[in-house]
Amino acid sequence: MSSPAPENDAEYLAQYVAQGQRIIRDIRAAQAAIQQLEGRARSRDGLLEATADGQGGPTRLRIDPRALRLGEAALGREVAAVLRAAQDDAARKAQEIIDQAEAGALAMPQPLDETFVRERVEQVARDLL
């Protein structure tokens, strides 16, 4: 959105506000999407599966009874690895959502500053003279 001609200031402002409202809606939608997403992971042998929410919190862990044969230490390492992988998957998905929302926000033009307003006032003063 480029700087408007003086006669289009009102339309420009309306478009600017509408674009800001769209960005806010998109950010809220991104927040909701992150709340709903689920990261998933499975161990190489398929005996362990885990899920994590959009904040990386573990939400489910499935351990096939055959995994108990691994022994306590090995099973602990496998559980930690599959949980971490599920959290990493959730973080990757959340970052994709955040990146999309940021791209929309970055498209917002810079706000008009005092220089713009001063130029408009000076233009009006010149037009009156």
Q: What is the chain's percent helix, strand, coil content, to nearest 5?
A: 65, 15, 20
Q: By C-alpha distance, which of 5, 2, 3, 1 is closest to 123?
A: 5
pTM check: above 0.75: no
pLDDT at 2 over 70: no
Calpha distance 17→26 (Å, rounded): 14
Per-residue pLDDT of 4-27, as tens digits, reads 666 777 788 888 888 888 889 999
Packed helices 9-36 and 72-106: angle between N→C axes, nearest 10 degrees = 170
Domains located in the chain, CATH noted = 8-128 (3.30.1310.10)
Strands (E), the chain: 38-42, 48-53, 58-63
Per-residue pLDDT of 46-79, as tens digits, reads 999 999 999 999 999 999 999 999 999 999 999 9
